[in-house]
Amino acid sequence: MFNVSRRFKRLLYLLFFLLCILYVKYLHSVYLENESFSSVDVDFSELRRSTKENYILSADYILLVKRCTTSSKSASHALLASLKLQVKVKEISDDDDSFTLSKPLPYLIILDDNTIVHFLKEPIYQIARNVIIANSVPIVAICANFEQCNYHARALPPAIAYYKSYVRTSDHELLEILKQRFVYENISSTSLVFSLSPQSKETVNGIQPLVEIPANNVDLNKIPENMRSEVKKSKLISAYYDSGKVDSIPKVVLGNDLKGNDWLYKVLFLEACNYVTKRKLSFGLTRLIQVDIDDVLMPAKLRENALTKTDINELIKFQKSVSSFIPNFGLKLGFCGDFFTRGRHPEEIEAFKYLARSRKDEFTWFPHLFRHYQPHNLTFNKLREEMLENKKFAAKYGIKVDGSYAVSPHHSGVYPVVHILYQLWKDIWNVSVTSTEQYPHLKSSHGRKGFIYNDISVLPRQVLGLYTRTLRFNDYPGGILGLERDVRGGDSFMTILLNPVAIYMTHIGNYGADRLALYALRNLFHFVATNTNLKLRSASPAQMAQYHFNVFPEQTLPVWTMPCDDKRHMEIVPKGFKCDSFPQMIIVGPQKTGTSAFQFFLSAHPDFSTSLPSDQSFEEIQFFNNDGYYLKGIDWYKSRFPIMARSSQVNFEKSASYYDKYKVPHRIKSLLPNVKILMLLRNPIDRAYSWYLNEVSKMEKVSLTFSELIRSNLTDPDAPDFIFRSKVLTPGFYFKHIRRWLETFALKSVYFVDADFFAEKPAEELQKFIKWFRPEEKPVFNFSTIIEFNKEKGLYCLKKSVSAKNCLGASKGRSFSQSYDKLLPVDREFLRNFYMADMQNLKLMFEKKNISIPTWLRTWR
């Protein structure tokens, strides 16, 4: 089964690769005919590409290294957050010599503030430096104070890297400097050039200045006296590229205070990241834009907000003017037919008639529901009726609808997913694309994302700060200036900068009244077109989806989140939805360490309930590692647990295959942020042999003996025994796997069980676990009242009085005297060497983190 699935995966990869080639060819043929979106604009060679299951450019790969001493958010942290790039923060302390990277390649390391000097200079960071050099990990270093910038700049006399609070350079001047210094093809006089390709320039020690700020901008009074004369005659370096001639670490150093809302610095920083990663972080300059107007026939509540015919004409004018720089630009109108007959104000009723009868062909239309009901509150039949009625309405008025795209009232049903909405969208409209602001959350600190569910692409949606209320200029937070700040380098600008596609949506009210939406969009597009080299283009929803998921292939599968932790999500889940029966603890493996016995005994505790058996899946749920189950959604997962009968009940599950799967920790953390993780650690040699016996017991013919298998040098993943060997041996690299789990879960949420101790004294170990998991449980349940040693089994079982099925089956705890050979000492020795480095690292890590070291591990040295 496993062999097949791995081979199947490989086949899929190959297929995916071939599809990509076909896709590029297809785009060539299609887009070249379509003026609005030319293939020339999309540099597919720069798209994010995967290294197996890891995506090079997943923002997860940006690792911010900062020193433990700084408790507050650092400048680079703030900057990355403002760019909505997810980072992993690695704090390093002076005695930390274990700087390691769990994923092979590539990370982009951001060295923060005062870390830089220590990191590059001190011998204790030698390991980290070696890792960086060996893996050619690119670095962007940010120095936020004079001393450290100076340290970096000293190789470049007489220049000095400096920080911004001392430099009175206005945005305008910096813009000019950037224009002169940075070159990108197609440079035009009105375009700010965003590429860090320096004009050829003399380098000193492999260091090239990238941005220089003339010294006459410096407030010398703020500079230490002994530095003033040097500063006076120097040009100050705001950013420079160090090719790594001296320390073998190529890097860009930005010498400025990057905390502010200064969009130029954000762009500069982003470009620095692109530059050191050889533009792998970049997805080119093309940005696909779509503007949706929501609830287009919705009557205004106040007369002064009512839409007029002139407003409709303004929409048409706007489309035309934007088309001059976004070819084929058109607004998309979403309609609920029922609103058409409900206008409150005569003028507005006239305007709607004018739109629906005379001007309808000027726009593209997309469906809502007939009555603006929320799908999560509807039955299948009612939802179907709503969609069909809306379709009938469009037919009656001759409105040509592009059914490939639809949105749902209040995002209901899109995320959190309501399956019937997706199903009916497909059946009735043949929808292939939708959009939402709700995934993963409305709060956009880490940026909105997309996913594909039931073959429908869900794209992230932006709102220009306008949402669904009709706003007047003065209502906008911060007034008109606030709006301008937002579009001129603020959040709305950033959404264009950082996303391959941007779908803007606000409801019709903001196209009447003060026409705030038109004002904002016009400003935004104009700002981008005149200050950047970004190319804004329009495209069909399907093209937008293709582009988005080509750039972010890792977003294809959704990552479920916990609805109960998000107020907005709770507003759009079915009434009475509860989260309390989700598990509070998961035994994640690895296999053959005693996980079933732990689950079996713990379930006998009066408060602990494990998952329910099901004929729809394996004995284990395997929800987080099996994409097929995962896509069944969180309701399916929840239904696998008993309903909460009392508040003290603890639901838990055991899926030992979670342990070594790359995507599992992140998926678990996202859905169950407070869950506790339990892993059992058995001597990896015994674990490997146990798994081998387990597998061969199911085989008709055994291809390799254990001795042959462990010594086989299988490097070809298609070799018949490659997967068998890796299943036997790979989970045993405990250090590698545990380090990954600890990158996602705090140490305080993870419990390690010494598997040998547990096998010998299960009651004692279980009690220890309860004390850790529920310190408030007093007295702690006495497991020895239900567990006893079973001579026949040679291991512990439940007492007969507790359960008729009191022992685990024959595959758990094999009796060697009967049909199985014992592990040969030479094989044991071989595997000891095989695992030695990993075990030594594990021991070191446990010592450092104050984790109790399993008895069997103590002898590995």
Residue 795 Cβ, how far from ligand A3P at the closest point, in Å? 4
CA 710, CA 698: separation in Å to the nearest integer? 19
Which residues would be at the binding site for ligand A3P (CB under 6 A)? 591-597, 656, 690, 759, 795-796, 808, 812-814
Q: What is the DSSP string of 55-84?
A: ETT-GGGEEEEEETT--SPPHHHHHHHHTT
Residue 702 Cβ, how far from ligand A3P at the closest point, in Å? 17
Nearer to ligand A3P, 99 or 856 (CB): 856
Nearer to ligand A3P, 523 or 595 (CB): 595
CA 598, CA 619: separation in Å to the nearest integer? 15
Residue 589 Cβ, how far from ligand A3P at the closest point, in Å? 7
Nearer to ligand A3P, 293 or 664 (CB): 664
Nearer to ligand A3P, 380 or 816 (CB): 816
Which two tokens mark 500? 């391959």
Residue 612 Cβ, how far from ligand A3P at the closest point, in Å? 19
Nearer to ligand A3P, 221 or 819 (CB): 819
CA 484, CA 477: separation in Å to the nearest integer? 11
What is the per-residue burial (b if ≥16 Cβ within 10 Å, else e) of 677-688?
bbbbbbbbbbbb
Which two tokens mark 57? 């450019």
Which two tokens mark 236? 């100050």
In this structure, are residues 314 and 331 in contact, taking their beta carbons and an 8 Å threshold?
no
**Strand spans (E) along 404-485:** 433-436, 451-453, 456-462
Q: What are phi and psi of 730, to 5 degrees?
A: -65, -45
Q: What is the DSSP string of 80-102?
A: HHHTT--EEEEEE-TT------S
For residue 163, give the 3-state DSSP assignment: coil
Residue 680: beta bridge partners?
753
Nearer to ligand A3P, 517 or 588 (CB): 588
Residue reference for tokens 């609005």: 36
Residue 241's alpha-carbon distances to 164, 206, 254, 357, in angstroms, are 18, 8, 9, 61
Instruction: Tally Cβ neighbours within 10 Å of residue 703.
Output: 11
Nearer to ligand A3P, 193 or 680 (CB): 680
Residue 677 Cβ, how far from ligand A3P at the closest point, in Å? 15
For residue 729, give the 3-state DSSP assignment: helix
Residue reference for tokens 């044991």: 828
Residue 812 Cβ, how far from ligand A3P at the closest point, in Å? 4
Residue 728 Cβ, how far from ligand A3P at the closest point, in Å? 12
| Angle of the 2-33 helix axis to the 722-729 helix axis, nearest 10 | 110
Residue 627: beta bridge partners?
none
The answer to whether the Cα torsion of 321, 326, 330, 332 is positive or negative is: negative
Cα angle 515-518-519, degrees, rounded to a multiple of 5? 85
Q: Which residues contact 784 (CB under 8 A, 6 or more apart)?
A: 763
The secondary element (H helix, E strand) that includes residue 706 is helix 706-711
CA 318, CA 540: separation in Å to the nearest integer? 19
Nearer to ligand A3P, 8 or 820 (CB): 820
Residue 855 Cβ, how far from ligand A3P at the closest point, in Å? 15
Residue 560 Cβ, how far from ligand A3P at the closest point, in Å? 26
Nearer to ligand A3P, 236 or 797 (CB): 797
Nearer to ligand A3P, 175 or 759 (CB): 759
The secondary element (H helix, E strand) that includes residue 585 is strand 585-589
Catalytic residue among 535, 592, 638, 654: 592
What is the per-residue burial (b if ≥16 Cβ within 10 Å, else e) of 293-310?
bbbbbbbbeeeebbbebe
Catalytic site includes residue 592: yes
Among 767, 749, 764, 738, CA closest to 842: 738
Residue 741 Cβ, how far from ligand A3P at the closest point, in Å? 17
Nearer to ligand A3P, 112 or 653 (CB): 653
Residue 635's alpha-carbon distances to 32, 418, 621, 623, in angstroms, are 45, 10, 13, 12
Instruction: Tally Cβ neighbours within 10 Å of residue 614.
Output: 12
CA 854, CA 391: separation in Å to the nearest integer? 66
Nearer to ligand A3P, 575 or 805 (CB): 805
Residue 787 Cβ, how far from ligand A3P at the closest point, in Å? 8
Instruction: Tally Cβ neighbours within 10 Å of residue 250.
Output: 19
Residue 701 Cβ, how far from ligand A3P at the closest point, in Å? 22
CA 255, CA 261: separation in Å to the nearest integer? 16
Nearer to ligand A3P, 128 or 808 (CB): 808
Residue 446 Cβ, how far from ligand A3P at the closest point, in Å? 36
CA 175, CA 531: separation in Å to the nearest integer? 9
Q: What is the DSSP string of 313-363?
A: HHHHHHHHHHHTTSTT--EEEEE-GGGGG--SSHHHHHHHHIIIIISGGGS
Just list the catalytic residues.
592
